[in-house]
């Protein structure tokens, strides 16, 4: 069975016909470490479900500094939603941090599924709402929390990733230097 089916059925049960329609509209891919799913300047054409591995979504500023916006590991989705829905060029990159296996749904296929498997319309609404709440919390933390508080929140949000991600990636997500992240970790360990 496609690993996506149990994920969707955590929200609502699916009929065999609905499972079949979903399976027909999904593409499986293997991704190498550091391989891009999305590059700046190109439209985001897929919603990507991570079966195994880990990804990061990031932007690059005028000075060439990378800023991580999101991580996605097993049983999570990643996409530049604005680019996906508008068809406009993305300002972001999505890159594999580890070798990965993913399932992807193109926009036309997702819209087909919304129409023919109406439960998916509700499921994706919940997924998007959860990501929106996550984004709101992140923005609030960035303007009102200390770096240590942001790190503790990161550990709470991504408990399994802290040991899988390099310090440089976590520091970029938190908006601090890797050296300052090391200091925060040391302070927490001795507290």
Are the CB atoms for 2 and 23 separated by under 8 Å?
Answer: yes
pLDDT in tens, 125-154: 999 999 999 899 989 998 999 999 999 999
Q: What is the CATH number of the domain that holds 47?
A: 2.60.120.10
pLDDT in tens, 96-108: 999 999 999 999 9
pLDDT in tens, 45-80: 999 999 999 999 999 999 999 999 999 999 999 999
Domain assignment present for residue 125? The answer is: no
User: What is the value of pTM for the model shown?
Assistant: 0.91
Reported confidence tier of residue 84, pLDDT bands at 50, 70, 90: very high
Reported confidence tier of residue 191, pLDDT bands at 50, 70, 90: confident
DSSP code, position 61: -
Strands of the 100-106 sheet, one edge to the other: 27-31, 100-106, 46-52, 77-78
Domain assignment present for residue 32? The answer is: yes
Domain assignment present for residue 132? The answer is: no
Reported confidence tier of residue 35, pLDDT bands at 50, 70, 90: very high
| pLDDT at residue 158, rounded to an integer | 85
Domain assignment present for residue 82? The answer is: yes
Domain assignment present for residue 163? The answer is: no
Q: Give me the sign of the Cα torsion angle 18, 30, 57, 71.
A: positive
pLDDT of 1 above 80? no
3-state secondary structure of 94: strand
Q: How far apart are CA 178 and CA 167, in angstroms?
A: 6
pLDDT in tens, 172-183: 999 999 999 999
Range of the domain at 24: 4-118
Domain assignment present for residue 173? The answer is: no
3-state secondary structure of 30: strand
Listed range (90-94, 114-118, 187-191) with the worst mean pLDDT = 187-191
Q: How many domains does the chain have?
A: 1
| pLDDT at residue 64, rounded to an integer | 93
pLDDT of 162 above 90? no
Are the CB atoms for 11 and 124 separated by under 8 Å?
Answer: no
Domain assignment present for residue 187? The answer is: no
3-state secondary structure of 15: coil
DSSP code, position 43: B
Domain assignment present for residue 13? The answer is: yes
| pLDDT at residue 157, rounded to an integer | 86
């Amino acid at each position: 069975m496609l690993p996506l089916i149990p994920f969707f059925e955590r929200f609502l049960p699916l009929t065999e016909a609905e499972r079949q329609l979903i399976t027909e509209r999904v593409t499986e891919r293997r991704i190498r470490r550091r391989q891009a799913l999305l590059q700046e300047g190109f439209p985001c054409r897929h919603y990507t479900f991570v079966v195994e591995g880990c990804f990061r979504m990031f932007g690059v500023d005028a000075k060439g500094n990378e800023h991580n916006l999101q991580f996605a590991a097993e049983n999570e989705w990643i996409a530049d939603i604005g680019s996906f829905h508008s068809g406009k060029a993305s300002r972001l990159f999505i890159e594999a941090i580890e070798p990965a296996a993913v399932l992807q749904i193109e926009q036309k296929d997702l819209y087909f599924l919304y129409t023919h498997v109406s439960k998916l319309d509700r499921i994706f609404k919940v997924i998007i709402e959860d990501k929106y709440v996550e984004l709101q919390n992140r923005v609030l933390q960035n303007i009102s929390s200390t770096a240590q508080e942001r790190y503790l929140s990161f550990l709470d949000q991504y408990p399994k990733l802290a040991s899988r991600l390099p310090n440089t990636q976590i520091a970029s997500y938190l908006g601090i230097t890797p050296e300052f992240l090391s200091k925060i970790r040391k302070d927490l360990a001795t507290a």
